[in-house]
A and B are shown apart, each in its own frame.
Chain A
Amino acid sequence: MRMRTFAKRCGKEILRDPINLGFGLGFPLVLLLLLSSLQANIPVRLFEIDRLTPGMTVFGLSFMTLFSAALIAKDRESAFLQRLYTTPLTPFDFIMGYMLPLLPIALGQSILCYLFAVPLGLTPRVHILWAALGIIPMAVFHIALGLLCGSLLRVKQVGGVCGALLTNLSAWLSGVWFDLELVGGAFGKLAGALPFVHAAEMEKALFNGSFEAAAAHLLPVVLYSVWVTAAAVLCFLGQMKKQ
């Protein structure tokens, strides 16, 4: 009950912020539109709508980090969290309350991307359902990363780190914008060591119904999600203690 009430509040705070809605939900759609228009004039295989859309749903998840980090940092700075620390809410209630409402938002964003891509030429298929569900491990990674950043950074820093840096890193290292094999070298190795490209490849594989290929990329994504969630929980508890 307590956790559900707090989670409901967090969801409302995020969804009632017009900037969140504009950037988080609108930006990936605008990119889909622009890149598919580009593809229509200058054919680039990477930007074919069936290849681009799954990658875009993964890129869109980077905004979940921004949403959760901004909310937590604001709550810390405004003393709202301080007030709630004097109530019967437990650390588990706080952590789940911040993380859970973002999962349906992430799922909604992914489904919205696929629906938006259909009139742009995306082939409707039943595998879209698996692809939409397949973003959950990476969504957990991004939401937990937000919990981590929100526990450590101030509101202004969150804008820079999660808004600018992370969204760019997520875009470059996921192989959505350019073929990572063409760059290769240290950049390619770095991308391979991080979860972004694995999440994008897993999503593409699920969309194509290649479950074996998807499974090959699942482990790094899950490992990163678990690791970042553990770090986020520790950092959140640490800042709770500091209060």
Chain B
Amino acid sequence: MQAIQITGLVKRHKKRTAVDSLDLEIRQGELFALLGVNGAGKTTVIKMLSCLTRPTDGDAVVDGCSIIKEPEQVRRRIGVSPQETAVAPNLSVKENLEMICGIHGFSKEKTRAKVSALSEQFALDDVLQRKAGRLSGGWQRRVSIAMALISEPRILFLDEPTLGLDVMARHALWETIGALKGRVTIILTTHYLEEAEALSDRIGIMKNGRLLAAGRAESLKAQAGTDDFEQAFLSIVQEGRR
């Protein structure tokens, strides 16, 4: 069963085409990574799929709902952790989680249960009472992902979740994301090749708004005729071949 079906998706900004005729299917429960250099169009794809920006052309069906015709329904089915840290800095971690519960209209009991479950899942107990803005980048990202999961989304968008984190924090976050695999469909954008290779079921490589290749890491390596994923990525991006 498909979680996301993208058909001819286009986004043009005046003279520049940020995403060019994107066709892609992502299966339910899959962790799909979008790789690409800066300006490849990864974030624009996420923004269109999460109804933050309207496509110039084409459509995508997200968990059975069109991003063009049913954006409200799509918003109820997704969770988004944006590229920049998106927490309320002067609120404690607990208050941040409670705020998102309130925005989704949860009862007091459900809010209490949700905060408790997420703090256990993301090991937030020690930082629950601390102001979110005072936490390290790694912890803030962890809180940000926990906030994205509050609405029990069927699809989770993670836009460069480990950008700017040190190795330790990055690996800790990989574990967190890895634990979600299979339960939620995850679309992740990243610059880190090893991250995409280690975490994803399938990887899509974008350049100048076009999807150059999509498949398992092994098949992309085979396609490029190399055993090294970095070489495969470079070869695909440089040659722009499918």
Chain A interface residues (CB < 8 Å from chain B): 1-2, 4-6, 8-9, 12-13, 16-17, 77-80, 82-89, 243
Say yes or no: is B84 at the interface (Cβ < 8 Å to chain A): yes
Chain B interface residues (CB < 8 Å from chain A): 47, 50-53, 72, 75-76, 78-91, 95, 99-100, 102-105, 131, 144, 147-148, 151
A9 to B72, CA, bound (A): 23
Asked if A1 meets B86 with Cβ closer than 8 Å, knowing A87-B75, A243-B53, the reply is no
The 9 A-B pairs with the shortest beta carbon distances in the complex, nearest first, are A5-B102, A79-B84, A79-B82, A83-B86, A16-B90, A86-B80, A79-B86, A80-B86, A13-B90
Closest residue of chain A to B102 (Cβ to Cβ) is A5
Given A1-B105, A16-B91, A83-B147, 18 more pairs with CB closer than 8 A: A2-B103, A2-B104, A5-B99, A5-B103, A8-B99, A12-B90, A16-B90, A78-B89, A79-B84, A80-B86, A80-B87, A83-B86, A86-B51, A86-B78, A86-B80, A87-B104, A88-B72, A243-B47
Residues of A within 8 A of B102 (CB): 1-2, 4-6, 8
Residues of B within 8 A of A6 (CB): 99, 102-103
When the two chains form their complex, are residues A78 and B90 in contact, meaning their CB atoms are under 8 A apart?
no
A8 to B102, CA, bound (A): 10
When the two chains form their complex, are residues A9 and B88 in contact, meaning their CB atoms are under 8 A apart?
yes
When the two chains form their complex, are residues B76 and A80 in contact, meaning their CB atoms are under 8 A apart?
no
When the two chains form their complex, are residues B52 and A2 in contact, meaning their CB atoms are under 8 A apart?
no
A95 to B224, CA, bound (A): 52
Smallest CB–CB gap between A239 and chain B, Å? 12
Residues of B within 8 A of A86 (CB): 50-52, 75, 78-80
When the two chains form their complex, are residues A78 and B50 in contact, meaning their CB atoms are under 8 A apart?
no
Mind listing 16 A-B residue pairs with CB under 8 Å?
A2-B105, A5-B99, A6-B103, A8-B99, A13-B90, A17-B90, A82-B82, A82-B86, A83-B81, A83-B144, A83-B148, A87-B75, A87-B103, A87-B104, A88-B75, A89-B103
